[in-house]
A = this chain, B = another copy of it.
Amino acid sequence: MRAKAAKKNVTVIDVANAAGVSKSTVSLVLQGSDKVNPATRDKVQAAMAELGYVYNREAASLRGKRSNLVAIVINDLTNPYSAQLAVGLEANIRRMGLFSMLVNSGEDKNTQTELVQSLKEYNVAAFVICPAPGTDANWVNELAGSVPVIHIMREVAGAIVPTVLPDNQGGTLAATRHLIAQGYRRIGFFGGNQSISDYGERLKGFHMALAEASLEAAGIWETAETNRHGGRLAMAALLNDAALLHPNHVPEALVCFTDIVAYGAIEQLRQHGLVPGRDMAIVGFDDLEDSSLMTPALSSIAIDADAVGASVCAVLDAIRKGKELPTLGRLEVALKARGSSPAKQAV
């Protein structure tokens, strides 16, 4: 696409002429060097303002072989949690003086590959990727050979890149323990499926807590899609199953794979005249903003979104300064107990 025809760009040389210094000096001012005389600095800055100078980052990046452009490749922007995560990341990255651009892979491996290929042409400084299902470890490792890569939220087996992960297992462990402490005994695991990397971890936490209390799982209902509609369908299946069971075997509490899945489940419950919290205790995972506002408020496992951003930034900073990378522990999660998982009423 052509630039506006007539208007010639104001360059560092124009500024230099206007300020009566050399272009090198202007460049130093631009970089905030401390070895330029404050008086000249002011003069130069005045000239820049006067001429309406716009820094040309492409030229700088070309010459300097450095870039402060970070690409965030997110898995699915239409998923509220991902959107929230992306927005948080963006803010964090911007705050550390880098600029971030966002692209959406839509959970599609091929789109992801194409996007990354294009972004490489823009000389991005680093990739922050929430990898699409089926991402190839070799591909990741090769990419990481030419530009820093950070994975978030999901693990790609065999990929040797810094990865920021929440404590999935600890989360469902806490959620399940909470339900047990509230007096529930017939607890099911609800939503998600094997194709998602963190499914196994969350399921494991669930089973651990049950084992501690010598309980059996009341059932496991997978969802084809990890979204609201998936939750609706799975709850329909659950209610269908339950109708065939002795009342003493119907699940009375659910640990949900995500809040979104829980939302769908709740809609379906209500559809059948059942009330979450009263007829079925529910705990979600992600602690979306809406979860604390709905009625009853949804109990959930909160992942500190700022901590994700902070970890990513710590890694970026280490890369930038050429320091050793910080070791990344699992991000802490916190149980938010709310109205959807009240203490069980004596019958």
Cβ-neighbour of A57 out of B87, B106, B122 (below 8 A): B122
For A123, the closest partner residue in chain B by CB is B58
For A71, the closest partner residue in chain B by CB is B101
Q: Are B104 and A87 in contact, CB atoms less than 8 angstroms apart?
A: yes
| Chain B residues within 8 Å of A232, by CB | 293-295
Cβ-neighbour of A104 out of B99, B102, B103, B229 (below 8 A): B102
Q: Are A293 and B103 in contact, CB atoms less than 8 angstroms apart?
A: no
Q: Are A1 and B126 in contact, CB atoms less than 8 angstroms apart?
A: yes
CB proximity to B under 8 Å, residues A119-154: 120-123, 125-126, 146-148
Shortest CB–CB separation between residue A277 and chain B, in angstroms?
11
| Chain B residues within 8 Å of A146, by CB | 4, 7
| Chain B residues within 8 Å of A4, by CB | 146-147
Asked if A17 CB lies within 8 Å of chain B CBs, one says no
Stretch of A168-176, A193-201, A240-248, A264-272 lying at the B interface: A264-272
Q: Give the total of A residues in contact with B, Cβ under 8 Å.
A: 60
Shortest CB–CB separation between residue A35 and chain B, in angstroms?
21
Asked if A56 CB lies within 8 Å of chain B CBs, one says yes
Q: How far is A322 from B122 in the complex, measured between Cα atoms in Å?
A: 25
Asked if A67 CB lies within 8 Å of chain B CBs, one says yes
| Chain B residues within 8 Å of A289, by CB | 78
Q: How far is A181 from B319 in the complex, measured between Cα atoms in Å?
A: 64
Q: Are B103 and A101 in contact, CB atoms less than 8 angstroms apart?
A: yes
Asked if A228 CB lies within 8 Å of chain B CBs, one says yes
Q: How far is A1 from B2 in the complex, measured between Cα atoms in Å?
A: 29
Cβ-neighbour of A77 out of B69, B87, B126 (below 8 A): B87
CB proximity to B under 8 Å, residues A1-41: 1-4, 7
Q: How far is A55 from B268 in the complex, measured between Cα atoms in Å?
A: 51
Asked if A84 CB lies within 8 Å of chain B CBs, one says yes
Q: Are B293 and A268 in contact, CB atoms less than 8 angstroms apart?
A: no
Q: Are A102 and B99 in contact, CB atoms less than 8 angstroms apart?
A: no
Q: Are B62 and A90 in contact, CB atoms less than 8 angstroms apart?
A: no
Asked if A320 CB lies within 8 Å of chain B CBs, one says yes
Shortest CB–CB separation between residue A27 and chain B, in angstroms?
15
Asked if A59 CB lies within 8 Å of chain B CBs, one says yes
CB proximity to B under 8 Å, residues A53-87: 54-59, 61-62, 65-69, 77-78, 80, 83-84, 86-87
Q: Are B295 and A268 in contact, CB atoms less than 8 angstroms apart?
A: yes
Q: How far is A62 from B3 in the complex, measured between Cα atoms in Å?
A: 11
Asked if A216 CB lies within 8 Å of chain B CBs, one says no
Apart from A102-B103, A270-B270: 8 A-B pairs, beta carbons within 8 A:
A1-B68, A1-B125, A2-B66, A57-B121, A58-B122, A78-B87, A78-B289, A86-B104
Question: Can you list 21 pairs linking A and B with CB atoms under 8 Å apart?
Answer: A1-B125, A1-B316, A1-B320, A2-B320, A3-B65, A4-B146, A55-B121, A57-B122, A58-B58, A58-B61, A59-B62, A77-B102, A78-B80, A78-B83, A80-B80, A90-B104, A99-B118, A99-B122, A102-B102, A102-B104, A229-B290
